[in-house]
């Protein structure tokens, strides 16, 4: 399990489920249909991703295919991290080193120009 997934699972347990283990959540379980989070929780997830991983979540990205399960969230976050690494933008300065470490778990990536 990558750090991205671990952090997402921990956030969900601590802020929405309150009990249970982080591993208990099925990767493909729908958050909204499964009653795991409420509708306001989607927006809290958005803020969590931005603050934790330093990515910018565009309004048009807040869609069920990106947000409505652990797997989808992890894949979305990873894509955003990769895009930022390729383009060198959309990262908050204080999270760049953390994001670099996260990406190393996912791809073989060599930072340039830092």
Partner 1 sequence: MRICSRCVLPASFPGIRFDDNGVCNFCRTSATFQTRESRRAELQAKFARVVESARTASSYHCLVAWSGGKDSTYTLAVLKEEFELRVLAYTFDNGFVSPAAWRNMQAVSSNLNVDQVVVRPRFDFLRQVFRDSVSSVQYARKALSRTSAICNSCMGLAKFAGLRIAIEQDIPMVAFGWSPGQLPLSASIYRPRPAMAKAMMGATVGPLQRAGIGDASTYFLQDRHFAAAQHFPWEVSPLAFLDYHQDEIFRRIERLGWSKPSDTGPNSTNCLLNSLGILVHQTQTGFHPYASELATLVREGKISRDEALRRMETPENPDTVRLAMERLGLASLDFSSAQLGSPGQKGSRGL
Q: Which residues bind partner 1 (CB under 8 A)?
A: 14-19, 32-33, 35-44, 46-47, 59-60, 62-65, 67-68
> At closest approach, how far in Å is the CB of 94 from partner 1?
13
Residue 34 neighbours by CB under 8 Å, 6+ apart: none
Residue 58 or 107 having the CB closest to partner 1 = 58
Q: Which two tokens stand for residue 82?
A: 């990769």
CB 46 to partner 1: min, Å? 6
Q: For residues 41 and 100, which CB has a smaller minimum distance to partner 1 in the complex?
A: 41
- Please state the closest distance from residue 51 (CB atom) to partner 1, in A: 10
CB 70 within 8 A of CB 8: yes
Query: CA-CA distance, 90 to 71, in Å (whole number)?
Result: 23
Cβ proximity to partner 1, 66 vs 78, nearer residue: 66
Inter-axis angle of helices 96-106 and 3-12, nearest 10: 110
């Amino acid at each position: 399990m990558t750090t991205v997934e671990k952090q997402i699972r921990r956030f969900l347990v601590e802020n929405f489920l309150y009990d249970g283990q982080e591993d208990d959540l099925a990767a493909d379980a729908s958050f909204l249909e499964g009653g795991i989070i409420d509708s306001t929780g989607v927006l809290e997830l958005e803020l969590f991703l931005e603050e934790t991983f330093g990515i910018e979540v565009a309004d048009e990205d807040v869609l069920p295919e990106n947000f409505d399960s652990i797997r989808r969230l992890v894949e979305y976050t990873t894509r955003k991290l990769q895009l930022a690494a390729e383009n060198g933008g959309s990262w908050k300065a204080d999270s760049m080193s953390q994001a670099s470490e996260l990406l190393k778990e996912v791809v073989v990536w060599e930072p340039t120009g830092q």
